[in-house]
Amino acid sequence: MEIDCQAEESISYTFDEDSVGLCDVKDMRLEAEAVVNDVLFAVVEMHVSQSLSNALDMAYINVETRERNRYCLELTEAGLRVVGYAFDQVEENLSTQYHETVYSLLDTLSPGYREAFGNALLQRLETLKQNGL
């Protein structure tokens, strides 16, 4: 039996009749690109790592905060966490907290992010107010 998953990128799995399909598997590479696009406005630099191995279940993102601190982030189903303190660097023995969202993680790492996010929100609200919404 073949099961097709409908997502941004189609993934097919083949199972025998007694198997359970895995259509809810997220492609972390696509998720990582979405994360970058969501918060790029509030950091100096952010991109999916081209040097580290990204896979269906894990992706790495490099970010430089407004304070000029660089981090390598790991994105998995468990969330996001810091795995290194330089681009494309994974420190194997580093034990850091997982965050459910990129917003939560950046909020703890960067006061500059917090300020930029707040300013963007205020501008958006002001635009809505001017448009009578």
Residue ranges per structural domain of the chain: 26-130
Average model confidence (pLDDT) across the chain: 84
Arithmetic mean of pLDDT, 60-76: 98
pLDDT of residue 42: 94
In the predicted structure, residue 18 carries a pLDDT above the cut 70: no
pTM here is 0.75
CATH label, 26-130, candidates 3.40.50.1980, 1.10.20.10, 3.40.50.300, 3.30.2280.10: 3.30.2280.10
Placement of tokens 């907290």 in the chain: 97
Placement of tokens 């939560």 in the chain: 104
pLDDT of residue 115: 93
In the predicted structure, residue 43 carries a pLDDT above the cut 50: yes
